[in-house]
Amino acid sequence: GTLGLIICSGAKNVINSCQECKVRRLIYNSSADVVFDGSQDILIGDESFSCPGKFLDVLIDLKFQAEGLIRLANNIDGLVTCVLRPSNAFGPGDTWFVPLLVNLAKSGLGKVCELSQYHFTDNLVLQKLPDAIYHIITDGFSFQFITGSGENMSDFTYAENVAHAHICAAETLDSRIVSVAGKAFFITNLEPMMFWEFVSLILEGLGYQR
């Protein structure tokens, strides 16, 4: 389908172009979701985690396939590669995560949405995880129902930290002092926190009352 053409075929095209143009370094921005299948939380996860047999959705599946292409291209025709896996990226340039929260907060009375550890949407349940948070929008926002403990933890990654990780990866691939070529690395703020608390802080910072 279209996603496959964009993600996997796109990765192949980028690899081929890099090899033809003698580009030395290629870093693929993937997602931490590639090791999460929705069945249970991952605590203190690291790069030793293998990817599950199933994925949360086709987008994550395709990202994992693209990861494989990027890593297989390592050390071929002078190209060295690695993969970065940010978790829940947010910050300047964000066109999805925070804008969606703001749109929900502005959407008026009576709309119900589900906020889960990884997926949330307006009027459509995409993924029901054990600690999903149900949120009723009023004039501002207020959490009305929390299923499970309400303490599900998530990692988040500020956009500038993602950018810094790419710079560090590029410099390390170039120096080859540390072996990162052909490998994948998780990128987070190293500050895991409750998902609902993160959402509350974001919206409060934008002027919405808890």
Active site residues: 63
Token couple for 45: 């996860």
List the beta bridge partners of residue 193.
154
Give residue 85's identity as a one-letter amino acid code.
Answer: R
**Alpha-carbon dihedral 121, 196, 192, 27, rounded to 10 degrees:** 20
CA distance 137 to 106: 8
- Cβ 204 vs Cβ 101: under 8 Å: no
For Cα atoms 160, 163, 168, give the angle at the middle one, nearest 5 degrees: 125
**Long-range CB contacts (< 8 A, 24+ apart) of 110-119?**
110/136, 110/137, 111/136, 111/137, 112/136, 112/137, 113/137, 115/195, 115/196, 115/199, 116/195, 117/41, 117/152, 117/154, 117/195, 118/33, 118/36, 118/38, 118/56, 118/88, 118/154, 119/56, 119/57
